[in-house]
Amino acid sequence: MKKYPGLFLLSLMLCWSPAQAENMIMLRVSHSFDNTMILIKEKLDDYGYKVAHIQKCDTGLSDSGYKTDFYKSIFFGKFEEMRHLTATYPELIPYLPIKIAIMQEKETVLIVAMNPETLSPLFPSEELAVQFARWESDLRAIFEEVSETQKLEPLNPVTFPTTINQH
């Protein structure tokens, strides 16, 4: 857990925040974990975002005694946008890139992101207010598109022939 104090604090905020609906954007889907990951990555790409990193969080939580199924965080953004924002507002660096947590819970998958609008009181800038509103709008639209995806084909592993034909 020492490696992931931010995720632990985010989890605590999820559990005990009285205004969690405003602070977090959440969606529960019945897709498989792998298909949800694929869908999220496709939708991020559709909106012009690039995945910077995918972090597996299960190991750190398991090492601390927490029982999890699957749990990953996707870090993403638009490169030039992130470069501009971190150069202009270096105090934003701890909050970037944007993150989505994806967690398997029994037969469903929970997708969670911090609502970027919650940063507005910390950074009173008109430019940032517009940016946070756009990120919120994009996240809500991405989550909505994931929820509207009715049926996905199951992922099939690649199979190779067990015998080799010799000529």
Q: Please work out, in degrees rounded to the nearest 5, the angle formed at the alpha carbon of residue 26 by the alpha carbons of 36 and 59.
A: 60
pLDDT computed for residue 162 by the predictor: 53
Name residues whose C-beta falls within 8 Å of residue 59's C-beta, 6 or more positions apart in sequence. none
Residue 3: Cβ within 10 Å count: 13
pTM: 0.74
- CA dist., res. 82 & res. 86, Å (int): 6
Place of tokens 């639209």: 141
pLDDT value, residue 149: 85
CATH number, position 94: 3.30.310.70
Tell whether 47 is covered by a domain.
yes
Q: What angle do CA 111, 18, 127 make, to 5 degrees?
A: 70
In a domain, 90, yes or no: yes
Type and span of the H or E element at 165: none
* Three-state secondary structure call for residue 28: strand
Token pair 């709008």 in the structure block, residue? 137
Does residue 56 belong to any structural domain of this protein? yes
- With respect to residue 11, please indicate whether it lies within any of the assigned structural domains: no
Residue 166 lies in a domain: no
- What span, in angstroms and rounded, lies between the C-alpha atoms of 29 and 47? 20
Note if the bond before 116 is cis, omega within 30 degrees.
no
Rounded to whole angstroms, what are the CA distances from 90 to 59, 83, 96, 106, 156? Answer: 31, 10, 10, 40, 44
Report residue 29 as tokens.
């889907």
Q: Can you give the pLDDT at residue 39?
A: 94
76 within a domain of the structure (yes/no): yes
Helices (H), the chain: 5-16, 20-23, 33-46, 58-63, 79-88, 126-148
Residue 55 lies in a domain: yes
Q: Would 154 be classed as within a structural domain? A: no
For residue 84, the enclosing domain spans: 22-148
Residue 159's pLDDT is 53
- Per-position pLDDT tens, the chain of length 167: 445 444 444 544 444 444 445 799 999 999 999 999 999 999 999 999 999 999 988 666 667 776 666 889 999 999 999 999 999 999 999 999 999 999 998 889 999 999 999 999 999 999 999 999 999 999 999 999 999 986 655 555 555 555 555 55
Q: How many domains does the chain contain in total? A: 1
